[in-house]
Amino acid sequence: METNNRAHLLGLALIPALATASFGCQELNTPLYFAGANVWAAGADDPLPTSGVALRFRTPTMQEQMKLDAERDAKGYDMDIPWISRDKVHVEVSYKVTLRCPTMDERAQQDGPTFDCDDANLPNSATFTLIVDGASEYAKYDTEIVSAALQESPDDPPVFLPLITTVPQTLSRGGSFSGIVREDDFAEGEVDLDALGRWNDADTASPTFAGVLINRSEVPPHIGMGLVPGFSISPTTGERLFNPNVLVVPAIYEVDLRLKADAPMVLEYFVRVRDDDDRLWHNDADGVYTPSPTLFQPPAM
Amino acid sequence: MAAALATSSMLGSAPVRAQVTSEPSAVVFPDPEKFAHGFFTEGEFGVLWFSGRASDEIAPGFAVGARAGYDIFRFFAVQLHLIGSTHQSQGDTPIAGQLLQVYQGTAEAKVTLRLVQWSFFAEGGVGAARMSSNLLYARGLARYRTGFTFGGGGGIDYHFLSRHFSIGLRGGFYVLSDVTSSRDASSTMYLRYTF
């Protein structure tokens, strides 16, 4: 009888165990994908061809806004706690670049490529770099604007200082390269953008904005992070201390890609978003959150 | 002394032998009538793959599932089925290599033909399928993450000498109505317990 009861319990245990196992997996991976419009580069383009995806978020409820305010008070912040924040919204870009001419069908599409391209004249190899800019709810970064500001004379070659960039890749004719601009890359770009936007140090003795972009924020001496909460100065040693618990970083909600290529290439991409607190807008009953970021302009302008 | 003699006398009497008075009836062993029937649960694992357009985008994946049902008759049962599977996107696209989970829940009917310890069955039902992400939407194959599904399958079952336990192998084929021109098929092994 005892054995029979044990077997009954085993049978009953099958149901919740398997149901939990299968539905537990759902929490591990719930990203959303947004397809971006293809970017066509003719080669040595000026300005660089670009495409972007602006994510739409719902407005916070009154309760959620009160929670953000309470968090701001608890941290002793001078600024608002972002609704679209890096710890809740995680962005990644999956892309593929191919060295080829557009097909007739692609040319016929609305906003399709119009440049001349002959397959026979394609180079055997060419190089590309993917430049990623974007906007948080407070600041927007545009590599072209910054490049124009840095250009001392119209004949100077443009200098690009992207928010996030990829390692240059060389493609053979007809070849393609697939890559990912990872969440980690965006996390670094987001803190840089916040440092340049909300916490920009206008002190001329401070490192330039290029120092913010080039150096990793969490690595000492935390160049350009002078005013960002979470990068406090030790009263005893004078060193800058990094405290990630205090850091509240707005996430990039608008992703702008630019393709810098030597020859005709096409960029296909998807923006992948993990939205921990269901803040993306998907219900008509909710209002759409409309941030108005300020365009970053380098001091040289 | 008298008691010892009496005992000796009893032990010394002629032994009693059983006698067969008729031929034994032909008993099927094991007797399927003694197998439990009624409420049952099953746990399964195996592989699930797509056919049609979704197969270009989604690779086959590991599946785990559970069933709970009731044998109304020995040859007919109704059951609820949940199965979850995990897949990787594939193909020549920027989002190849991404993970996707598929969850399906169906209400099914099942007919069984039993041959002693073995049985063969066919089943079918309707329900819903849900994707963990909008990956197929992003590829232009599905409008919603949750959709209607229907289909069926069959399999073979082996009952242990235990009243309650059996194992089996089954295959299934379900139409995913909200994924363009796509179906999914599964092959799983299961352990069944009947109360």
B120 and B154 Cβ atoms separated by less than 8 Å: yes
Q: How many CB pairs under 8 A join A and B?
A: 88
A301: distance to nearest CA of chain B, Å? Answer: 37
pLDDT of residue A80: 86
- Domain spans of chain A? 32-295
pLDDT of residue A280: 94
Residue of B nearest to A36 (CA): B138
pLDDT of residue A162: 93
- Among the partner-chain residues A12, A25, A268, the one whose CB lies closest to the CB of B101 is A25
Computed on alpha carbons and rounded to an integer, the radius of gyration of chain B in Å comes to: 27
pLDDT of residue A244: 72
Which chain A positions have a beta carbon within 8 Å of B100's beta carbon? 29
SS (H, E, C) chain A: CHHHHHHHHHHHHHHHHHHHHHHHHHHHCCCEEEECCCEEECCCCCCCCEEEEECCEECCCHHHHHHHHHHHHHHCCCCCCCCCECCCEEEEEEEEEEECCCCHHHHHCCCCCCCCCCHHHCCCEEEEEEEEEEECCCEEECHHHHHHHHCCCCCCCCCCCCCEECCCEEEECCCEEEEEECHHHHHHHHHHHHHHHCCCCCCCCCCCHHHHHHCCCCCCCCCCCCCCCCEEECCCCCCEEECCCCCCCECCCEEEEEEEECCCEEEEEEEEEEECCCCECCCCCCCEECCCCEECCCCCC
pLDDT of residue A301: 46
What does the pLDDT profile of chain B (195 residues) look like in tens digits? Answer: 455 554 554 555 566 677 777 776 666 678 888 889 899 999 999 999 999 889 999 999 999 999 999 999 999 999 999 999 999 999 989 999 999 999 999 999 999 999 989 999 999 999 999 999 999 999 988 888 899 999 999 999 999 988 999 999 999 999 998 888 889 999 999 999 999
Chain-chain contact of B137 with A33 (C-beta, under 8 angstroms)? yes
Domains and CATH numbers, chain B: 35-194 (2.40.160.20)
What does the pLDDT profile of chain A (301 residues) look like in tens digits? Answer: 455 566 565 555 555 555 555 555 554 558 999 999 999 999 999 899 999 999 999 999 999 999 999 988 888 777 889 999 999 999 999 999 999 999 999 999 888 899 999 999 999 999 999 999 999 999 999 999 999 888 888 888 888 999 999 999 999 999 999 999 999 999 999 999 998 888 887 666 666 778 888 888 878 777 777 777 777 676 677 676 777 777 889 999 999 999 999 999 999 999 999 999 999 998 889 999 999 999 998 875 4
pLDDT of residue A1: 46
ipTM of the complex, rounded to two decimals = 0.78
Q: Which of A6, A8, A33 to mutate to test the interface with B (most CBs of B within 10 A)?
A: A33
